[in-house]
Amino acid sequence: MANPFLTAACLGAVLASCPALAFQSFADGPVSIVPRVKPAPAETEALLRVESSLVLIPAHVTTETGAPVTNLNKENFRLYEDRVEQRISDFAKDDSPISIGVLFDTSGSMQNKMRKSCEAAAAFFATSNPGDEFFLVKFNSKARLAVPFTTDSDKIYTEIARTKPSGQTSLLDAIHMALMEMKTARNYRKALVIFSDGGDNWSRRTVREVTNSLIESDVQVYAMGIFDPDYFVKHTLEERRGPQLLEDLAIQTGGRHYPVDDLDGLPAISARISRELRSEYLLGYYSTNTSHDGKYRQVNLHLTAPSGTSRLRTHHRQGYYAPSY
């Protein structure tokens, strides 16, 4: 059944681009990655208390053009659970450490995409904070925990860089494995970042199984769908469902899915995900519905934009399961 309490963690990763980072080609071997030094933490409007009965909703706010909006206060948000307004008791917009699971597709169809995918991974890790921790799940016909939790992102990159693609795609099994590993995370902000070029065609786990596990967890999903131009012509039905699968998983958890149309743009998309993870708000509340019925509760977030601000958009966790005891 569902996790007794939702402690939804908004995760993070990283700022814009990193012009100082010089990429090597995939054939040249691993890139040495030097994480940025984390600045002194900014003051938050409320110190987040990680308590079992506190529902945490990560939210990312952008302008209509996609630029992140980071100057909002608690008063700009109104939060509803099953259409009943809730009092926001906790509010934060700091750059606290994140626990991140990297899910890297190593199926045969990734052969011609490895160099750019490695550059994207390097761009992502280059902007990590000292308190961040990572693990790596590689998946093709089988999902495998290649690197358990570590604060050394170089270990993750080195493992990715020596990958030799082969086999089918077991994405759902990889997500299930990642959620198991995420149970040992040290940080309350958690996320999965997926690099994949197709839908699932080999997993034992089902879409419903994995979707429910994600909703019950406090983990966001960010995905880079690296799809071929003729994706809907030459691929199986399961594979053609890949873009929608990634989209649905990301939306449910308050994350984002970025389809990659041009491989040359992959590192920039990776950097954009990093910025979004680092510019999120975290809203906490104690539900007025105290029944332990195990039912799914829909969460909606409304914004009151500051005067003179253009129309804003929000991406946030869609809901959670109530405790069932």
Question: What span, in angstroms and rounded, lies between the C-alpha atoms of 48 and 38?
Answer: 19
Number of domains in the chain: 2
266 and 306 belong to one structural domain: no
pLDDT in tens, 147-167: 999 999 999 999 999 999 999
Predicted local confidence at residue 235, as pLDDT: 66
126 and 189 belong to one structural domain: yes
Does some domain include residue 26?
no
Domain that holds residue 121: 97-278
pLDDT in tens, 61-82: 998 888 889 889 999 999 999 9
Are 273 and 258 spatial neighbours (Cβ–Cβ below 8 Å)?
yes
Question: What span, in angstroms and rounded, lies between the C-alpha atoms of 223 and 195?
Answer: 6
Percent of the chain with pLDDT over 90: 59
Question: What span, in angstroms and rounded, lies between the C-alpha atoms of 146 and 269?
Answer: 24
Task: Tell me the three state secondary structure of residue 166.
Answer: coil
252 and 139 belong to one structural domain: yes
305 compared with 259, residue with greater pLDDT: 259
Predicted local confidence at residue 21, as pLDDT: 37
Around Cβ 287, how many Cβ atoms within 10 Å?
18
Strand duo 190-196 + 99-105: pairing: parallel
Lowest mean pLDDT among 52-66, 91-105, 109-123: 52-66
Are 169 and 107 spatial neighbours (Cβ–Cβ below 8 Å)?
yes
Mean per-residue pLDDT for 259-271? 91
70 and 201 belong to one structural domain: no
Does some domain include residue 312?
yes
Question: What span, in angstroms and rounded, lies between the C-alpha atoms of 125 and 113?
Answer: 19
109 and 82 belong to one structural domain: no
pLDDT tier, 325 (very low <50, low <70, confident <90, very high otherwise)? confident
Lowest mean pLDDT among 23-37, 82-96, 172-186, 263-277: 23-37
Does some domain include residue 24?
no
Does some domain include residue 12?
no
Q: Is the pLDDT assigned to residue 116 strictly greater than 50?
A: yes
CA 256 to chain centre: 7
45 compared with 201, residue with greater pLDDT: 201
Does some domain include residue 113?
yes
78 and 101 belong to one structural domain: no
Does some domain include residue 75?
yes
pLDDT tier, 310 (very low <50, low <70, confident <90, very high otherwise)? confident
261 and 297 belong to one structural domain: no
Predicted local confidence at residue 8, as pLDDT: 38
Lowest mean pLDDT among 37-41, 119-123, 193-197: 37-41
Predicted local confidence at residue 232, as pLDDT: 58
300 and 152 belong to one structural domain: no
171 and 312 belong to one structural domain: no
User: Phi/psi of residue 76, each to 5°?
Assistant: -85, -5
- Range from 172-181, 195-204, 269-278 that averages highest in pLDDT: 172-181
261 and 302 belong to one structural domain: no
Predicted local confidence at residue 234, as pLDDT: 65
Q: Is 54 left (phi over 0), alpha (psi -120 to 50) or beta?
A: beta
306 and 240 belong to one structural domain: no
Does some domain include residue 154?
yes
